[in-house]
Amino acid sequence: MEHTGSFHSAQEQIGFIQNYYAKADADPLFIIIHNLDGNVCGEKTQAAMSQLATAPKIHLLASIDHINAPLVFDGSKMSCYNALWCDGTTLGPYSEETSYENSLLVQQSGALALSSLIHVFKSLTPNAKGIFLLLARHQLQQKDNSNYGGLSFNDMYQRCREAFLVNSDLTLRAQLTEFRDHKLIKSKKGLDGVENLLIPLDPATLQEFVNQQEADGL
């Protein structure tokens, strides 16, 4: 784009890009975004993308996941996007989409996941940290078990009692609720109706996290 200077704000940079792609001789730019309504595209990102979409030579191709996602965009953004809506529902099982969760592309986000986990972990109480690390270490012990579906609540409670981390199941449930609120764990019931607890991280990232905590003496 032959620009060697600097910009004082994101808005100034957006304006420069808009002007460049408004030129008749500018090559068209195609931007592809998967899940435009996702967490990655926050308010500032949405505002920037909608402004860029107004440039004559910028073309945005995006998908949305939630059926009511258009309601998230205000009138100004909807006007800027000036979208042509197409129903691209695959009607296929979600197993097709989740089959790529261990791909290299997804694994590259491990550093970001680790950073977020460490940030939240620092705010926990000593007992809460102990509970989470107990679950993490058990999960790592089972990393080669392809049938592992998580640690049952009863086993988790027993282990936490033995480690003097909780004095009742209500205390543990309250702590697990906090973990869920922070997206640190997920739980689901097995075929036997037992609640199983799992940390939604790949083994390599989880191991790195545990190693860092052990280096800090936890």
Per-residue tens of pLDDT for the chain, all 218 residues: 677 778 888 889 999 999 999 999 999 999 998 878 765 566 788 888 899 999 999 999 988 876 666 666 778 888 888 888 888 777 776 665 555 454 444 444 555 577 778 888 888 999 999 999 999 999 999 999 888 889 999 999 999 999 999 999 999 999 998 888 888 898 888 777 788 999 988 898 899 999 999 988 87
Is the Cβ–Cβ distance between 26 and 57 less than 8 Å?
Answer: yes
* Region(s) of the chain under CATH 1.10.10.10: 110-215
Residues 6+ apart with CB under 8 A from 208: 114
Residue 103 is predicted with a pLDDT of 47
| Tens digits of residue pLDDT in 144-159 | 988 888 999 999 999 9
Is the Cβ–Cβ distance between 209 and 117 less than 8 Å?
Answer: yes
Q: pTM of the prediction?
A: 0.51
3-state helix, strand, coil in the chain (%, to 5): 50, 10, 45
| Architecture of domain 110-215 in this structure | Orthogonal Bundle (1.10)
Max intra-chain CA distance, the chain: 72
The single-letter code of the amino acid at 73 is: F
Beta partners for residue 151, in sequence order: 197
Q: Where are the beta strands (DSSP E) in the chain?
A: 29-33, 58-62, 151-152, 186-189, 195-198
**23 burial type by CB count under 10 A (0-12 exposed, 13-18 middle, 19+ buried):** exposed
**What torsion, rounded to 10 degrees, do the Cα atoms 106, 110, 115, 121 define?**
100
Residue 94 is predicted with a pLDDT of 64
Residue 68 is predicted with a pLDDT of 66
CA pair distance 120, 105, nearest whole angstrom:
24
Among 166, 196, 164, 181, CA closest to 120: 181
Is the Cβ–Cβ distance between 128 and 174 less than 8 Å?
Answer: no
